[in-house]
């Protein structure tokens, strides 16, 4: 097992984690597994999902605290400011944490954790996974919050693309040198071309043989479903041998259903509904061309997954998308109906020349979760060695630099956080909190998700490694094989069991 130069005890905090599925959830899980493999201690803190409450153990002893927090918008929990400060303190003391790593800008849990972790004297790292605007009221409010929290309490910031870095630097008024760029990765061992005898044949003449387009995303405005609804009828009209498979669900599904009905495309366009992540590869290899029509993306992992599965990839050139794949692996288009239509036609012409296995091997060399973990650990090392003044007066000064009103507001919150945590120290000293035993090192021999040539292909997604995930997703208790439940210490000292 790899040995780290410095062992970190990391608390990952985000509202977005399994059994919910998405890019952030997968990023946290894979990064945590690789850090554990490198010799670090990692626990995850998130809010409860249905009956998934309390403490669970996942692969390689990854402990997850599912807190009783109420999600109110797109799985982001309701703000409580000081409501869970004592619980976070108990978790950090119990796990002997040295560093807190928050994920996603609109995760209320992560932003609050950054404030409380700074009050506890922990080093804080934050990863921003998304792009945001500057004009609408919601973006302005969130940018003010980021400016205060990232500027005053966070020691290191990570973005998943250079475009995302520029966006975060502008929104939070951070010095560019303080922001590291570490792209996402994909477990390419889970996304391989279909080389079986029953595999979909690749046409030699796309004008005379069937070509299948694949769309797999949430059916929401940000993913460009409005663009897609304009383009699909034109594609089907120009190319009579084209079929379209659409995977995913969301509020824009009704728009696609209306377009299909209005143009009589029921036999050409199939809406598959939500596709579980463990079936994403099987869904992708049913087609030849993967289409992404997003209007904004910091880093689109689906593009890498589709490329690893051997598909021709076409995408709108927005956000960090141009950084994801080399030009010969992706067709980039303008984010318009005309541009996307032209890009799809160019992608169809590439189909006869596609070499799925060769492309898979190239992607395998480009993306590796082990490399992501090494670069993240380097950020941890730099943050741990930093000597920034984190005294209360210094923090208040940094808050005020974020603006008169927002600085005063967050300064008051930080003061109350410090006072509450000091009261908690008097009420429940650190010596009274039981220390959690570490997972035995011999159970962490399996490396994390594959990727570059050094990957072992060991179990690395939650579906394969923990058979209880299906019960977790359906809201049932996961008390069977692959899940361990444990009592967690409540702030008042009462042990609650789930």
DSSP annotation of 479:
-
Partners of residue 127 on adjacent β-strands: 103, 158
- 306 Cβ neighbours under 8 A, 6+ residues apart: 191, 214, 216, 284, 290, 313
Closest CA to 55 of 470, 471, 486, 495: 486
Model pLDDT for residues 337-375, shown as the tens digit of each residue: 999 999 999 999 999 999 999 999 999 999 999 999 999
**Burial of 416 (C-beta count, 10 Å sphere; 0-12/13-18/19+):** middle
135 by Cβ neighbours in 10 Å (0-12 / 13-18 / 19+) ranks as: exposed
Phi, psi of 27 (to 5 degrees): -60, -50
Percentage of the chain with pLDDT > 70? 87
pLDDT digits (tens, 9 = 90+) for 402-449: 888 888 999 999 999 999 999 988 998 888 888 888 887 654 444 455
DSSP class of 91: H
Question: Rounded to whole angstroms, how far apart are CA atoms 448 and 459?
Answer: 7
Answer whether residue 460 shows pLDDT above 80.
no
Residues 6+ apart with CB under 8 A from 438: 41, 61
Residue 50: pLDDT band with limits 50, 70, 90 = confident
Residue 100, helix vs strand vs coil: strand
Q: Do 293 and 300 touch, CB atoms closer than 8 A?
A: no
Start-to-end C-alpha separation, the chain: 34
Question: Tokens standing for 15?
Answer: 């509202």
Residues in the chain: 498
In three-state secondary structure terms, 67 is strand
Q: Check if the beta carbon of residue 279 is closer than 8 Å to that of residue 302.
A: no
Nearest to 51 by CA among 62, 36, 66, 40: 66
Of 15, 19, 131, nearest to 75 by C-alpha is 15
* pTM of model > 0.85: no
- The yes/no answer on whether domain 201-366 falls in CATH 3.40.50.2000 is yes
* Four-way CATH pick for 9-185+370-496: 3.40.50.970, 3.40.190.10, 3.60.60.10, 3.40.50.2000: 3.40.50.2000
- The Cα-based distances of 429 to 120, 263, 332, 414 in angstroms read 13, 69, 57, 21
Q: What is the pLDDT of residues 281-336, one digit of tens each?
A: 999 999 999 999 999 888 889 999 999 999 999 999 999 999 999 999 999 999 99
Is there a common fold for 9-185+370-496 and 201-366?
A: yes
Taking the domains of the chain in order of start, what are their residue ranges? 9-185+370-496, 201-366
**C-alpha gyration radius of the chain:** 23
């Amino acid at each position: 097992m790899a040995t780290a130069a410095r062992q970190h005890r990391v608390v990952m905090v985000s509202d977005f984690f399994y059994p919910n599925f998405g890019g952030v959830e997968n990023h946290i899980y894979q990064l945590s597994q690789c850090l554990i493999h490198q010799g670090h201690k990692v626990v995850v803190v998130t809010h409860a999902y249905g009956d998934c409450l309390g403490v669970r153990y996942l692969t390689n002893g990854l402990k997850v605290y599912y807190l009783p927090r109420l999600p109110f918008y797109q799985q982001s929990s309701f703000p409580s400011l000081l409501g869970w400060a004592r619980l976070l303190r108990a978790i950090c003391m119990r796990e002997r944490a040295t560093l807190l790593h928050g994920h996603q800008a609109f995760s209320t849990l992560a932003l609050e954790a950054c404030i409380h972790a700074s009050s506890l004297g922990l080093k804080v790292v934050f990863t921003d996974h998304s792009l945001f605007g500057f004009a609408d009221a919601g973006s302005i409010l969130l940018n003010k919050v980021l400016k205060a929290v990232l500027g005053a309490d966070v020691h290191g910031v990570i973005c998943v693309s250079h475009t995302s870095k520029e966006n975060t630097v502008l929104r939070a008024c951070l010095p560019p040198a303080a922001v590291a760029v570490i792209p996402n990765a994909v477990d390419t061992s889970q996304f391989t071309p279909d080389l079986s005898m029953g595999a979909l044949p690749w046409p030699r003449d796309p004008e005379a043989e069937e070509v299948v387009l694949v769309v797999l995303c949430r059916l929401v405005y940000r993913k460009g479903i409005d663009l897609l609804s304009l383009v699909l009828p034109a594609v089907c009209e120009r190319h009579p041998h084209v079929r379209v498979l659409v995977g995913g669900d969301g509020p824009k599904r009704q728009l696609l259903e209306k377009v299909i009905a209005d143009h009589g495309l029921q036999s050409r366009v199939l809406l598959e509904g939500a596709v579980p992540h463990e079936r994403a590869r099987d869904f992708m290899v049913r087609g030849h061309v993967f289409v992404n029509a997003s209007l904004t993306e910091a880093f689109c992992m689906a593009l890498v997954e589709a490329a690893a599965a051997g598909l021709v990839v076409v995408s709108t050139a927005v956000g960090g998308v141009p950084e994801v794949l080399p030009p010969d692996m992706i067709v980039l288009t303008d984010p318009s109906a005309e541009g996307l239509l032209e890009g799809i036609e160019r992608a169809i012409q590439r189909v006869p020349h596609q070499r799925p296995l060769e492309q898979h091997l190239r992607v395998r060399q480009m993306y590796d979760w082990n490399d992501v973990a090494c670069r993240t650990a380097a950020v941890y090392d730099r943050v741990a060695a930093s000597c920034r003044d984190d005294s209360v007066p210094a923090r208040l000064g940094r808050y005020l630099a974020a603006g008169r009103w927002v600085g005063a507001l967050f300064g008051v919150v930080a003061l109350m956080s410090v006072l509450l945590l000091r009261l908690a120290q008097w009420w429940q000293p650190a010596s009274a909190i039981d220390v959690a035993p570490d997972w035995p090192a011999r159970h962490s021999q399996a490396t994390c998700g594959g990727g570059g040539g050094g990957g072992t292909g060991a179990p690395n997604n939650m579906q394969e490694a923990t058979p209880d995930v299906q019960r977790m997703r359906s809201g049932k208790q996961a008390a069977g094989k692959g899940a361990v439940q444990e009592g967690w210490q409540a702030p008042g000292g009462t042990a609650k069991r789930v």
